[in-house]
Amino acid sequence: MPDFSEMMRRSPTIKEFYFEWEGLQIFGAIDITDVPKELEIRFTSPHQAGEVALRLNAYGCKFTHPDGKLSERIRLVHGDVNPTQGDENYARIPIHGATQESSILVYNEYLAGPRGLTDVKQLESFTGDSGMLVERCENSILFRCNSWKPADRKAFADMQGSITLLY
């Protein structure tokens, strides 16, 4: 049987967001196909501010920013969306123009270090041993994430939180 890293390289694809590993369903992303009017997102991380983030991509709809601008992508960076150091990160995001065909993809990003010839550190996703444990209960989605090099592959302790779908 392939190891965790090999399985993560082969899955998930856009059509197949999870794979099974030692009894766990490990997701690459959360696919929200019943798009609400708003998302309420809370998350915490033991990492330093700026080292992890949630990325949201909208398909067939747009996110409304606090300044009224619309976009198809939002990145919620740990430490940038919390009022006080140590508090949970919080964002409430209105959705504009959603239809029956709309969807929102949510996945974790992490600072993976400099790549290639540059010293610039970048947030990345879908590399190494990253993955998410996801549980949906009615209008709430609970998640726990691994970054690209977790200390314990089964801990999913690099980020944890919830997304509430507000209809």
Tens of pLDDT, residue by residue over 105-133, are 999 999 876 655 566 678 888 877 889 99
Express each pLDDT in 60-78 by its tens digit. Answer: 999 999 899 999 999 999 9
The total domain count for the chain is 1
Average pLDDT over the chain, rounded to whole? 85
Angle, CA 70 vertex, CA 146 and CA 28 arms, to 5°: 20
- 133 in any annotated domain: yes
Q: What confidence score (pLDDT) does residue 43 get?
A: 96
- 73-100: average pLDDT: 87
- 5 in any annotated domain: no
- 16 in any annotated domain: no
- 15 in any annotated domain: no
The rounded distance, in Å, linking the Cα atoms of 27 and 138 is 19
- 68 in any annotated domain: yes
| pTM of the full structure | 0.84
The rounded distance, in Å, linking the Cα atoms of 79 and 95 is 23
- 8 in any annotated domain: no
Give the pair of three-digit tokens for residue 40. 């309420």
For the chain, how big is the Rg over CA atoms in Å? 16
Q: What confidence score (pLDDT) does residue 114 get?
A: 60
| pLDDT category of residue 15 using cuts at 50, 70 and 90 | very low
Contact residues for 19 (Cβ-Cβ < 8 A; gap 6+): 7, 8, 10, 11, 12, 25, 26
In contact, 160 and 11? CB cutoff 8 Å? no
